[in-house]
Chains A and B, each alone.
Chain A
Amino acid sequence: ETGVTQTPRHLVMGMTNKKSLKCEQHLGHNAMYWYKQSAKKPLELMFVYSLEERVENNSVPSRFSPECPNSSHLFLHLHTLQPEDSALYLCASSYGLAGSNEQYFGPGTRLTVT
């Protein structure tokens, strides 16, 4: 266990549904990240939060809406997704934003959009 949990672990949703992914870290970190991992593609950084403030939106479509209510929780709200959004969504956290800091990853949510 890395100290980062994600729920649900698997999610199947239709293109008209609205769902949310949840991430929680128990490490006292102050930076949190959402990544997308698609088959045969490198891990893509989606969003970066530091002290609950969004630092980076890496050109992510508006059908993905992040929320960080406190430094321990991070959500990804999903609506009107497309089949190409099917992927493994990984949450990570770190102590600070420096690239030298180790990132701790959750187990991911396997999302299938039908």
Chain B
Amino acid sequence: SQQGEEDPQALSIQEGENATMNCSYKTSINNLQWYRQNSGRGLVHLILIRSNEREKHSGRLRVTLDTSKKSSSLLITASRAADTASYFCATDADVNAGGTSYGKLTFGQGTILTVHP
């Protein structure tokens, strides 16, 4: 089953408005990261929040994490047309592969954000 699921699948807003995207997951995590992807390009890391943190800020981004509800939210304030992109949450959990442990990132399907000028 999918670990990270974003909600909504698509969000359309006007420039200057705030955009909120949510992510839910199923199993215990070490950290949760948010990434952004412009159409047809690679992902760019935005912010990481650790499982013992509840809120984190970076510029116009605010991320919250509620481990009791297994959910996170990404808030983009004062949105701009350049914020138009897909946004993904990624949870990490330790995986043991043949004796080597690594932190596997599991991505959700993403929220497509469109900001109209």
A residues whose Cβ falls under 8 Å from a Cβ of B:
2, 4, 6, 31, 40-43, 45, 48, 50, 55-56, 88, 90, 92, 97-108, 110
**Closest Cβ–Cβ distance, residue A86 to chain B (whole Å):** 14
Task: Say which residue of A40, A48, A92, A106 sits within 8 Å of B109 (CB atoms).
Answer: A40
Residues of chain B lying within 8 A (CB to CB) of residue A103: 43, 45, 105
Can you offer 30 A-B residue contacts whose CB atoms are under 8 A? A42-B2, A42-B108, A42-B110, A43-B88, A43-B107, A45-B104, A48-B104, A55-B100, A56-B95, A56-B102, A90-B43, A92-B43, A97-B100, A97-B102, A97-B103, A98-B103, A99-B94, A99-B102, A100-B30, A100-B48, A100-B92, A101-B103, A102-B48, A103-B43, A103-B105, A104-B45, A105-B35, A105-B43, A107-B41, A107-B42
Chain B binding surface, main DSSP class:
strand
Residues of chain B lying within 8 A (CB to CB) of residue A88: 40
Instruction: Name the residue on B nearest A102 (C-beta).
Output: B45
- Contact, CB under 8 Å: B98 / A55: yes
CA distance A4 to B100 in the complex (A): 25
Count of A-B contacts with CB under 8 A? 78
- Residue among A97, A99, A105 facing the most chain B CB atoms (10 A cut-off): A99
Residues of chain B lying within 8 A (CB to CB) of residue A41: 109
Task: Say which residue of B42, B93, B103 sits within 8 Å of A90 (CB atoms).
Answer: B42
- Contact, CB under 8 Å: B42 / A99: no
Residues of chain A lying within 8 A (CB to CB) of residue B35: 105
CA distance A31 to B30 in the complex (A): 19
